[in-house]
Amino acid sequence: MTLLSAQNDREAFSEWLKARGSRAVNTRTSYQREATRLLAWLEEERKRAHELSIEDVHKYFDFLRDPPAHWLRPRKPRRDEVLTPTQLLIGGLKPDGIAYARTVMGNLFAWLQAAGYLQWNPFKLSASPSTISRTSQQRFLDLST
């Protein structure tokens, strides 16, 4: 049983955005960007969300790391320049960006699974992309001077 009346992935993703992306403008913008990328990739792959396997998710991460030329847009498009629906990236994502995409898509798929739209969440089962570890900067106020 599904709790969503969505007829396709685009409608289902939109419902998730309404439910989870309304916390802050930046959150909504970021979630929408990630959802739009995945929807465009799914369309290009001729797949639907419920068909994704763990291998597909890893293929998606590889794609984000090294997107094909037709997915790249100019850093600053001219006002009169018309972009294609797939021109969603200005370059490959760094490990932290891929890890963020995995987290957001994992949350999306968990929500869709809880709503009964999906049976499984391949993003939660996928390998975590390596990220760059950063040492935290420690600051303190020296009161002895």
Name 123's Cβ contacts closer than 8 Å, sequence gap at least 6: 57, 102, 105, 106, 108, 109
Interval 58-92: pLDDT, tens = 999 999 999 999 888 877 777 776 777 788 888 99
**Cα(70)–Cα(85) distance, rounded to whole angstroms?**
10
Q: What's the CA gap between 21 and 30, in Å, rounded? A: 9
Q: What is the pLDDT of residues 9-67, one digit of tens each?
A: 999 999 999 998 877 889 999 999 999 999 999 999 999 999 999 999 999 999 999 99
Residues 6+ apart with CB under 8 A from 9: 39, 42, 48, 49
Strand partners, 101: none
Q: What is the pTM of this model?
A: 0.81
